[in-house]
Amino acid sequence: MKTIFSTSRTSSAATAAQPGKNAMTEEIAPADTTSAPPRLDVSHLAKTYGMGDKARTVIEDLTFTVDAGEVVCIVGPSGVGKTTLLKCLAGLHPSSSGRAAIDGRTISGPPPEMALVFQDYNRSLMPWLTVRKNLMLPLRHLHLSAAELKERCDDALAAVGLSHAEHQYPWQLSGGMQQRVAIARALAYRPEILIMDEPFASVDAQTRFDLEDLCLKIRRDFNMTILVVTHDIDEAVYLADRVVVLGSKPARVLRIVDVDLPAPRDQITTRSLPEFARQRTDVLSLIKRPA
Amino acid sequence: MNRKLLLWLLGAGTPVLLLLLWWATSLQSTDTFFPPLKDILQSFQQLWLFAHFQSDVLVSLGNLLLGYAMASAVGVALGFVIALVLVARNVLEPLIHFLRSIPPVALVPIFISLVGFGTEMRVFSIALAALFPTLIATVDGIRSVDSGLKDVARVYRFTTVEKVTQVYLPSAAPQIFSGLQVSLQVAFVVMIASEMLGPSQGIGAMTLLAQQSFMISDMWAGILLLGVIGFAANIVFSLIRRRVLAWYIGSRRLARSS
């Protein structure tokens, strides 16, 4: 029952037509990209809260990898344990068994090369600091020069389009703007790996499109490895090089779907491609199908 | 805008009106215990401006400030330790809840027997009594720091000092300030009470002495001065709070209006 698809590199059309059979060929065929070790390696990760009778297994057995410079989306029904997974990856919670590693090093605490954008923007920004000071706070102990500090903050604010709001407080901004501040804070930190937990869940549709494109732009400009948790399948297909589909409950990997939509992606043209529709139907049918 | 001005005038005008009323009705008073306000103000001027200003008013205020400063510093620091160190919490918390149940003024006799009637006794009484409101508010404030903010601090690998000064302290500041305000009131009460025991200086001592020697208008003048000092202390406190917690007051106002 513990199905592992760690290296899925097959055509998406075949996946849609014959998911079962295709999955088998994946397991037989060795990965063709094993030359570089994966940036993020999650193997047999499990998380159980509580002990004895009250034990509640949230994550049963997760295995997937994220290569350097890749955008991977994790989708699954809500309440499946996606946030728990991210907290394990960010070193905030210890895993119960299995392991998660960055460049082969097991994650045991928050890794220095990682930044996390939280789901609740209104619980992740410091209300007593202005936007700019929120950006600067995580940089304090990096002992950067004043010029670099300024440059990083200016760049990050410009990237999310909030240069004009730098002296405002988070609570003076709309939800979408607050989430952009949280993203800017992560950008100013210049992580190599960026993890985002439902980052665009509570913003309006237009802002959402903008933020998705921002995410792709960040990957392009800063060559970041990005892992995004979302419950929006369209968003996952639009953003990702690969989509990890989780099934409930407890969470396990149903399938890892390659998304081979052409780059650069565009909200209008990419979303109207026939492949886009096929990919999203593919992922949707996996989630809808009773496990 | 006009309505606002009217309300402000009402707020400022009522005490003035009451004083005028007091002045007018007490002008012909022959009652020993309720002398004319005119006499009281005369005593006020003779006593406090500035015959006893240095010898008593400054002494009282000095004790108050010193005791209050000690209580605030120890209260916030100890509050942090109790909120964040599990062992400290288990050892100290029941003890603190017992000690704070004792009325602050009742602690004064202990200090008299321990350190006598001197200035130390007064300062320590004020400090100990004023400690608990700040301490308990700090513990509550630190414990209710949002877990989301704590996660941010961990993910971005804040140092321990940064966590304390950049996350916990500002986050708990609204509650700490509530505690500090109560502590200030308690310190004020204990300041007076501590001066009413033993041969001593201070506004409380002067007021009690005036009452015992039937200098009733002097007694009233002392009470009046205490009122003025208490009122002024509260205004100063509010101004500092409004400055430090501007973000909090602003965000609350915005949340209410939307």
Residue from A270, A244, A268 nearest A255 by CA: A244
Q: How distant is the Cα of B140 from the closest Cα of chain A, in angstroms?
A: 19
CB contact (8 A) between residue A171 and residue B146: no
What are B32-58's pLDDT values in tens digits?
888 888 888 888 888 878 777 777 888
What are A182-238's pLDDT values in tens digits?
999 999 998 999 999 988 887 788 888 888 888 888 888 888 899 999 888 888 889
Query: Residue A97: what are its φ and ψ, rounded to 5°?
Result: -155, 175
**CB-CB contact of A115 with B156 (8 Å):** yes
Structure confidence at residue B62 (pLDDT) = 92
What are A84-109's pLDDT values in tens digits?
888 889 988 888 888 888 888 888 88
Residue from A58, A44, A51, A32 nearest A106 by CA: A44
Provide the token pair at B43.
């005593």
List the alpha helices (DSSP H) in chain B: 2-26, 37-46, 58-84, 86-99, 108-115, 119-143, 147-155, 160-162, 169-195, 203-212, 216-244, 246-257
Distance CA A119, CA A229 (A): 10
Enter the pTM of the model. 0.82
- Considering its fold, how many domains does chain B have in total? 1
Place of tokens 């970041």: A224
Query: Residue B157: what are its φ and ψ, rounded to 5°?
Result: 55, 50
CB contact (8 A) between residue A124 and residue B159: no
Residue B105, chain A, CB below 8 Å: the answer is no
- Cα A281 to chain center, whole Å? 21
**CB-CB contact of A275 with A263 (8 Å):** no
CB contact (8 A) between residue A169 and residue B166: no
Interface test with A, best of B144, B145, B152, B166 (most A CBs within 10 A): B152
Place of tokens 């570089």: A36
CB contact (8 A) between residue B155 and residue A141: no
Give B116-144 as a 3 state SS string: CCCHHHHHHHHHHHHHHHHHHHHHHHHHC
Distance CA B66, CA B83 (A): 26
Q: In sequence order, what are the residues at sequence separation of 6 or more whose Cβ sits closer than 8 angstroms to the Cβ of residue A184?
A: A131, A135, A156, A157, A159, A160, A162
Structure confidence at residue A194 (pLDDT) = 93
Residue B155, chain A, CB below 8 Å: the answer is yes
How many other CB atoms are found less than 10 A from the CB of residue B67? 25
In a domain, residue B17? The reply is: no
Place of tokens 């800017």: A184
Identify all chain A residues contacting B146, using CB atoms and an 8 Å cutoff: 123
Structure confidence at residue A61 (pLDDT) = 82
How many other CB atoms are found less than 10 A from the CB of residue B182? 15
In the chain, the amino acid numbered B35 is P
**Shortest CA distance from A188: residue in chain B:** B156
Report in angstroms the alpha-carbon separations of B147 from A14, A199, A264, B80, B217: 45, 18, 38, 16, 58
Place of tokens 């998911």: A19
Residue B164, chain A, CB below 8 Å: the answer is no
How many other CB atoms are found less than 10 A from the CB of residue A212? 21
In a domain, residue B180? The reply is: yes
Residues (pLDDT < 70) of chain B are 1, 199
Dihedral of CA atoms A95, A96, A98, A101 in degrees, nearest 10, equals 20
Domain that includes residue B98, residue range = 36-257
Q: Which of B148, B166, B250 sits opposite A124 (nearest CB)?
A: B148
**CB-CB contact of B134 with B180 (8 Å):** yes
In a domain, residue B16? The reply is: no
pLDDT along chain A (291 residues), means of 10: 40 40 40 64 84 80 87 84 87 86 86 89 91 94 91 91 92 89 92 90 81 86 89 88 83 80 80 83 77 48
Residue B149, chain A, CB below 8 Å: the answer is yes
**Chain A positions touching chain B (beta carbons under 8 Å):** 87, 90-92, 110, 112, 114-116, 118, 120, 123-124, 126-129, 137-138, 140-141, 169, 171-172, 189
Q: In sequence order, what are the residues at sequence separation of 6 or more whose Cβ sits closer than 8 angstroms to the Cβ of residue B214?
A: B32
Supply the DSSP symbol for A273.
S
What are B191-226's pLDDT values in tens digits?
888 888 776 788 888 888 888 888 888 888 888 899
Of chain B, the percentage scoring pLDDT greater than 70 comes to 98
Q: How distant is the Cα of A247 from the closest Cα of chain B, in angstroms?
A: 26
Q: How distant is the Cα of B248 from the closest Cα of chain A, in angstroms?
A: 7
Q: Which of residues 170-209 of B touch A (CB under 8 A)?
A: 170-171, 173
**Shortest CA distance from B156: residue in chain A:** A138
Interface test with B, best of A108, A120, A124, A128 (most B CBs within 10 A): A128
In a domain, residue B29? The reply is: no
In a domain, residue B61? The reply is: yes
In a domain, residue B204? The reply is: yes
Structure confidence at residue A146 (pLDDT) = 92
Structure confidence at residue B171 (pLDDT) = 96
Structure confidence at residue B56 (pLDDT) = 83
CATH of the domain at B231: 1.10.3720.10
Distance CA B140, CA B4 (A): 36
In a domain, residue B136? The reply is: yes
DSSP-derived 3-state class of residue A205: helix
CB contact (8 A) between residue A110 and residue B173: no
Report in angstroms the alpha-carbon separations of B43 from B39, B61, B216, B228: 6, 20, 10, 15
Identify all chain B residues contacting A112, using CB atoms and an 8 Å cutoff: 157
Report in angstroms the alpha-carbon separations of B55 from B163, B216, B223: 45, 21, 17
DSSP-derived 3-state class of residue A113: coil
Q: Which of A114, A137, A169 sits opposite B250 (nearest CB)?
A: A169
Cα angle value B233/B235/B238 (rounded, 5°): 110
In a domain, residue B19? The reply is: no
